Amino acid sequence: MKDDQYPPIPPNITGPRARCPRCGEGSIFTGFLTLKKECPVCGLDLSFADTADGPAFFVMLVACVPVVAFAVWMEVSMDAPYWLNALLTVPLLVLFCILPLRPLKGWLVASQYYYGAREGSLDHD
């Protein structure tokens, strides 16, 4: 099926839900972060998608720095034992650093499709 048979769906609707950016129905992941080769519903070839380290960068920028700052603050100001520091910071790292990766990667894939992003090339006239 061609792209013109599907109305454009904004990436903020399909991406965080890990749905196909063309039809909005099929799942785009086989595992936690592994992309399928194509959408099982509409057959969209997902080989165009290359998010690289984008999701990890955004997560580190937004979530990892505050969690690590909290761990350092707790260690320096409270002189907390290592086990208590680990008990409090490991769940925060999982919650704020691991769980957002999938919705962010889905959003980046959907954005690449929606805006027609492709690998750069030089235009020789």
Separation CA 70–CA 85 (nearest Å)? 10
Can you read off the two tokens belonging to residue 102? Answer: 């999938």
Separation CA 19–CA 5 (nearest Å)? 17
Separation CA 24–CA 13 (nearest Å)? 8
Tens-binned pLDDT, residue by residue, of the chain (125 aa): 556 788 999 999 999 999 999 999 999 999 999 999 999 999 999 999 888 888 999 888 888 888 889 999 998 999 889 899 999 999 998 898 899 999 999 999 999 999 988 777 677 76
Q: What is the pTM of this model?
A: 0.82
